[in-house]
């Protein structure tokens, strides 16, 4: 039996590693047919062709504009199964997505055995989450009000650059800092704002007045 898998990941090296993993015989199927996509529109087109596919997605690097955007695609393709494969996801986002069902979750920092197990479960039509996510969801509720932790002046400036669609490399060049430093600032910004990707960060920047709609005009 051939299994259809869609890889939604913008990092080529991660996609390459996942594809190699998926082609190893850790499930009782022949080698799966793998389709790689990099945008929301490509994902939808792939699901139209294979509505029962298992989709492995790095949400944090995707162009999805929030949990509802992801859930709406899930509703459109109810036979699909999903694995969120990311570095870090906010608790609010996880609860919203997991409540909808059909979503497995595993972190890029998880042991290889757990990554295999979560993806294999999706192939069997089941949704499971890795140990780190279980522990995170089991923690007591804390105040996660938007912007509870104030952004520094530098973080606000970098958030504005992110909201304007600039890459880490572009921001680093404009601000005379390393791409690694920019990535660290970005991670701290996402954590403080409880957002998961640049689309959500841009939404916050607009609401907070860090960028204006006129900033997007050419």
pLDDT digits (tens, 9 = 90+) for 8-30: 987 777 777 777 777 776 555 56
Model confidence pTM above 0.85: no
In a domain, 146, yes or no: no
**Nearest to 21, CA basis, from 93, 113, 91:** 113
Domain boundary among 138, 171, 199: 138
Which pairs count as long-range contacts for 197-201, CB under 8 Å and 24+ apart, including other chains? 197/59, 197/60, 197/61, 197/62, 197/64, 198/162, 198/163, 198/165, 199/62, 199/63, 199/64, 199/65, 199/66, 200/65, 200/66, 201/159, 201/162, 201/163
Domain co-membership, 19 together with 106? yes
Domain co-membership, 8 together with 108? yes
pLDDT of residue 44: 95
Mean pLDDT for the stretch of residues 55-81: 89
In a domain, 147, yes or no: no
Instruction: Determine which of 95-99, 142-146, 202-206 has the lowest per-residue pLDDT on average.
Output: 142-146
Measured in residues, the chain has a length of 218
Distance CA 22, CA 9 (A): 14
Q: Are 190 and 196 in contact (CB under 8 A)?
A: yes
Domain co-membership, 27 together with 122? yes
Domain co-membership, 80 together with 10? yes
In a domain, 207, yes or no: yes
Number of domains the chain is built from: 2
- Tell whether the model's pLDDT for residue 148 goes beyond 50: no
In a domain, 198, yes or no: yes
Range of the domain at 176: 153-211
pLDDT band at 144 (very low <50, low <70, confident <90, very high): very low
- Tell whether the model's pLDDT for residue 73 goes beyond 80: yes
pLDDT of residue 141: 59
Q: Are 7 and 56 in contact (CB under 8 A)?
A: yes
Instruction: Determine which of 44-58, 181-195, 202-216 has the lowest per-residue pLDDT on average.
Output: 202-216
In a domain, 99, yes or no: yes
* Token pair for 81: 């199964």
In a domain, 144, yes or no: no
| Residue range 28-55, pLDDT digits in tens | 556 678 889 989 999 999 999 999 999 9
Domain co-membership, 96 together with 181? no
- Tell whether the model's pLDDT for residue 216 goes beyond 70: no
| Residue range 112-133, pLDDT digits in tens | 889 988 988 998 889 999 998 8
**Nearest to 130, CA basis, from 158, 75, 89, 161:** 89
Beta-carbon-side half-sphere exposure of residue 21 (alpha carbons within 13 Å): 20
């Amino acid at each position: 039996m051939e299994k259809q898998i869609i890889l939604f990941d913008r990092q080529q090296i991660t996609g390459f590693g996942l594809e190699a993993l998926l082609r190893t015989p850790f499930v009782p199927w022949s080698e799966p047919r793998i389709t790689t996509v990099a945008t929301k529109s490509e994902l939808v087109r792939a699901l139209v062709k294979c509505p029962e596919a298992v989709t492995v997605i790095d949400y944090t690097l995707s162009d999805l504009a929030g949990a509802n955007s992801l859930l709406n695609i899930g509703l459109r393709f109810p036979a699909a199964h999903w694995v969120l494969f990311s570095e870090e996801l906010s608790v609010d986002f996880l609860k919203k997505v997991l409540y909808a069902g059909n979503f497995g979750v595993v972190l890029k920092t998880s042991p290889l055995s757990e990554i295999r197990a979560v993806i294999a479960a999706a192939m069997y039509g089941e949704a499971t989450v890795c140990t780190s996510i279980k522990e995170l969801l089991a923690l007591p509720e804390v105040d996660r009000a938007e912007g509870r932790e104030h952004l520094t002046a530098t973080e606000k400036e970098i958030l504005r650059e992110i909201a304007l669609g600039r890459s880490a490399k572009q921001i680093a060049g404009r601000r005379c800092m390393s791409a690694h430093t920019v990535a660290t600032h970005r991670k701290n910004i996402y954590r403080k704002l409880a957002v998961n990707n640049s689309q959500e960060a841009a939404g916050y920047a607009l609401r907070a007045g860090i960028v204006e709609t006129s900033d997007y005009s050419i």
